[in-house]
Structure 1
Amino acid sequence: MNAYNSGGNGAHFLIGKDGHIYQTASVLQTCYHVGKLIKSKCLEIDASSCDIDTAKLKLLTWRQRINAIDKHERSKSYPTRYPVNADSIGIEIVGKSIDSETYEAVTVEQNSSLQFLLDELYSVFTKITSEDVYRHPTVSYKNPGEAKSAVWKK
């Protein structure tokens, strides 16, 4: 299956509702799955540790603010910032968006396959752990319900 071959759009892996895992790109290839703009890891986790001028951010419109945050964060390296397309592996779990806040629940089979796939990736990329795995809405401005019921931390 090579559904994302046009320009690298999509994720490296898809997990179907039945738990079947499809690899759609080499893990050495950059795929565009994270989102256009990333959130600030320091603002999300511990604003007091953040090196961004939050007072200036408050003066900006929402669109200007998220663009400024993205630009600032991309000047950092991982793990100081959230992962971006160039330094991450994308795993998409098939499901329907119910509305702007909600996605359908991840199936038992999908969660089982997700854990299997992550265990395999952890064995190949020995420096990553479950702390390096993020849901889309944590990292970028996507539907907050995406993969909400996905389980990858033991």
Structure 2
Amino acid sequence: MLVEIDEHGMLSHARVRHARSPQIERGKRAGAITGIVVHQTDADTSASSLNSYKRPKANGAHFLIDKDGTIYQTAAIYQRTNHVGPLKARCLIAGKCRPGDFKNVGAEGMHRIEMRKPPGERYPGNMEAIGIEMVGRARMPVGFKPSGKELEWSLERIRGEHGIFDTPTAAQNQSLSWLVSVLADSIKIGPTEVFRHPVVSSKNITEAQGANWKLSIPTP
């Protein structure tokens, strides 16, 4: 299903509420949109994320899906936002390279190597990807206690490593499926180019683990 997209990159549809925050936009894209990356906010409410997007030099994604399924567009899709982070090597999954090819380079070094490749041969980065955030918090397992070097870590680092993200609600997944479908149809994004955040970048592996963008979409 196609949706109307204005010259600024804002969707015109009754299901999408405009909540554009120019503070998270980083300028026009230099090339085509080739993928979608699905995130979770690590926050309990949409209000907390929407408010954070208004801060100077804030980071955020193009869309935010609340727990009740409400979709907010928070950035124009033709604008780049910082939401992906350093890229993992897609060639490792495809079997076209080996871990040894990235020995001792670290996450930033791997990202630099990947960014020398054309978009189709690597994961979509900030310049090519539309970001979709789903409201959801990473919570510490009951009874968890840090040990060893973790005792010196900040609480945020511990949560980033060991926290378990909320399972998206049914309403969120229905809205996610609709949004991915209309974006893919309208911008011509292939079905293999939609990813959970931890797939493309080194993030908490439970982020968006319950995200499902393949549900059937009722005909409007």
Name the TM tier (shorter chain).
Answer: 0.7 to 0.9
Where is the strand percentage greater, Structure 1 or Structure 2?
2
Residue 21, structure 1, aligned to residue 83, structure 2: no
Residue 114, structure 1, aligned to residue 172, structure 2: no
Residue 57, structure 1, aligned to residue 102, structure 2: yes
- Can you give the 5+ residue segments of structure 1 that lack an aligned partner in the other structure? none
Q: Greater shift after overlay, 23-32 or 100-109?
A: 100-109
Q: How many residue pairs are counted as aligned between the two chains?
A: 144
Q: Structure 1 residues 15 and 40, CA, compared in 2 at 3 Å: closer, same or farther?
A: same
Alpha-carbon distance between aligned partners in 1 of 2:182 and 2:175, rounded to the nearest angstrom? 11
Query: TM-score, normalization: structure 1?
Result: 0.85
Which runs of structure 1 show a deviation greater than 4 angstroms over 4 or more consecutive aligned residues? none
Q: Deviations over 1:79-130 (max 9, x none)?
A: 200010000100001100113252010100000000111111022112x122
Give the Å deviation of 1:8: 6.2
Query: TM-score, normalization: structure 2?
Result: 0.61
Q: Which residue of structure 1 lines up, in the alignment, with residue 185 of structure 2?
A: 123
The structure with the larger Rg is: 2
Secondary structure in 2 matching 1:91: strand
Q: Judge conservation of contact 1:130–1:153 (CA < 8 Å) in 2.
A: no
Alpha-carbon distance between aligned partners in 1 of 2:172 and 2:131, rounded to the nearest angstrom? 15
Identity, % of aligned positions: 41
RMSD: 1.8
Equivalent position to 1:39, from 69, 88, 97: 88
Alpha-carbon distance between aligned partners in 2 of 1:114 and 1:134, rounded to the nearest angstrom? 12
- Can you give the 5+ residue segments of structure 2 that lack an aligned partner in the other structure? 1-18, 22-49, 141-161, 216-220
Amino acid at match of 1:24: T
